Structure 1
C-alpha cells in the first residue's frame, strides 16, 4: 500500500485514477529551463551527452534499478532544451516524438523505454537506451578521406533498412544527418526523431511542430522543398540520407556543406563526381536522390537500399557489357 505522503513522488500517469477522485493539489512550477537533479523521483542525471535542434540528452542512473542490484542501471534521458521548454505545448511535442518512435521496433532504430513528466518541474522526458560508440560525424573526423566500399556498404545497408522500416510504418525522420546515426557496440542505430512527423492520416490526434514558429532543420541536409516551406515527406528524408552517404564515401558533403537553396543557385549539382569506390549503379541511385527538385527525385528508400544490396559488376561483366 502506498501512503499519501509517498504518492506525490509518482508520475501523473501512475496516479491518473486517484487524481480523478481527489482534489488536485497545486504544485509550484520551477523557472523554465531549470532541470532537477533527479527527474521523476527516479532518474539521477549524471552528465550531458549532447544537444540537438530541440532536445538535450543526458546520461542518467535509474535509482530504482540500482536499488534492486542491476549492475547496469544507466539510461539516456531526453528532455527539451531550455529554449524550447518555455513553449506552452512543449511537453505535448515531446510526447509526439515518443509516440512516433515507440511504434518502431527495429534493431537499427534506437529503443525507447518510456515517457514521463516530472511533477515539481513540469518537465517531460523520454527514457531510452544508452548508446555507446561513434556517431557518423565523429567517424568522418577520423576518416576525412571517406570510407572504402565494403565499410561504406556495411553502414549504408542497416541505415537504409532502418529508414525503410520507418517509412513503411508511416514515420518520417525529418533530421537525418551524421550526428543522428551511431555505430553502437551492438550495431548501427538511427536516433532523434524529434523533428519527425507521421505520414498524412497516421496518428491524427498527435500535436505537430509548427514550422512557421520553429525552424529547426539542419540546412545542409534539408531538401529544397523543406527550406521553401513544404511539409516533410519521405522524399526529403531520401535527399538527406543521400547527402550522408556521399559524405561517408568521399569525406566531403556533396554540396560543400551549403544548403540546397544555395547549392542550386550555384548549380553545384553539375559538379558532382562519383567517388572512385562507389559502383556506377549506386552512384546513379544517389545522383537521383540528390536532385534539388522533388519532382525529379524519383527514387524511394527501398530502391536506394536495393542499389546498395546489389553487388558491383565484375570486370568481365563490365567488359562484356561494353562489348
Structure 2
C-alpha cells in the first residue's frame, strides 16, 4: 500500500484532500477536510493527513513504517505533542494513511528566518521549555523522537507542537510484535541535528534526542546552525543564551554520547532556572 501515481482527491470516502502542507524523508502531509464530521456540523473539520511519498512505492513493507509511526505516537497525550487520530486504508487506491491534529502557526525554521541574530531570551525561553516538556514527556513514555529539528516543531497561538515521529522508536518493546522495517536504510537523518553516533550507524537513544534538541536550542539562541565540528573544537556560548544556561546546553552538545552527562529533564531544569542554584 503506497501513494498511487494519481492520488484520489477523496480518501476512504470522507477525507477531501486540499493541498500539501509539507514533505519529509518518507511521507507527504496534506491538509484535508473530514466530510463526515463536516456533515454533522463540526465547525472545524480540518485534519492533517499523512501518507507515503511515491519514492517509497517500490518498498513492499514501507506501509509498515507508516503504521509504526502512528502506533508509536497515538498513545501520547501532551499539550505540546501532535495528537494522532486514526490509521486507515483507502480501498480503491490501496493507499495507507493516518490522520492527526491540524496544526496552526509556523515552524521554527521559518521563525529563524525572521530572527537571523537569534531569538531574544524572553521569546526563546518559553519555546525552549515547551519543546523540552514535550520531549521529557515522550521519553517518560518510552518514546524516542529521532528527528528533532526546526521543521518538526510548530509554534502558534496555542504554543509549541512537536510532530513527525517517522524516525522514532520505542525504548520499551511495546510494539515488538509488529512487523518492522529499518529506518536506517532510508538515510533520513538530518546531518545538522543528528547526533554523531547516529550518522556513524549507531542506535537511537535518549542521548541522541538530547543532542538534537540541544542543536535546535543553540540555533534559536545563536541565529545560525551549529555546523560541522572538528574534534577538539571549542564551542562559544550563543549570543542570546544566559550564562547560567550554557554549561547544561554545552554538555548536551557533546559529540561523544558518554559525555552528555545529563537528561532532557535536567536540561529543561537548567533552561527554566531563573537564577543560580546557590541563591535558593
**Category of TM-score, reference length = shorter chain:** over 0.9
TM-score (norm 2): 0.94
Distance 1:30 1:241, change over 3 A: closer
Q: Is the 8 A contact 1:135 1:181 kept in 2?
A: yes
| Alpha-carbon separation, structure 2, partners of 1:78 and 1:151 | 31
Structure 2 residue runs of 5 or longer lacking an equivalent are: none
How far apart in 2 are the matches of 1:49 and 1:61? Answer: 13
1:136 CA drift (Å): 0.3
2:3–2:54 Cα contact (<8 Å) kept:
no
Residue among 253, 275, 279 paired with 1:312: 275
Alignment of 1:1-323 (within 5 A): 32-255=4-227, 258=228, 263-265=229-231, 267=232, 269-270=233-234, 272-313=235-276
Aligned pair in 2 of structure 1 residues 116, 283: CA closer, same or farther (>3 Å)?
Answer: same
Q: Deviations 1:133-170 (Å, cap 9, x if unpaired)? A: 01100000011110111211110101000000000000
**Distance change >3 Å, CA 295–CA 103, structure 1 → 2:** same
Q: Distance in 2 between matches of 1:57 and 1:293?
A: 35
Q: Is the 8 A contact 2:70 2:84 kept in 1?
A: yes
1:85 Cα offset (Å): 3.4
Q: TM-score, normalised by structure 1?
A: 0.82
RMSD: 1.9
Which protein is bigger by CA-based radius of gyration? 1
CA distance in 2, matches of 1:100, 1:148: 35
Distance 1:30 1:167, change over 3 A: closer
1:15-66 CA-to-partner distances (Å, cap 9, x unmatched) read: xxxxxxxxxxxxxx89844321111111010000100111110000111112
Q: 2:192 aligns to what SS in structure 1?
A: helix
Q: Distance in 1 between matches of 2:44 and 2:118?
A: 35
Report how many residues are paired. Answer: 279
Q: Which structure has more helix as a fraction of its residues?
A: 1
Question: d(CA) in 2 for partners of 1:161 and 1:55?
Answer: 26
Q: Matched residues in 2 for 1:75 and 1:138: separation?
A: 22
Residues 33, 83 of structure 1: 8 Å contact kept: no
The question of whether the paired residues in 1 share the 8 Å contact of 2:214 and 2:252 is answered with: yes
| Structure 1 unaligned regions, length at least 5 | 1-28, 319-323
Moved beyond 6 Å, runs of 4+: none
Whole-angstrom distance in 2 between the partners of 1:50 and 1:277 = 30
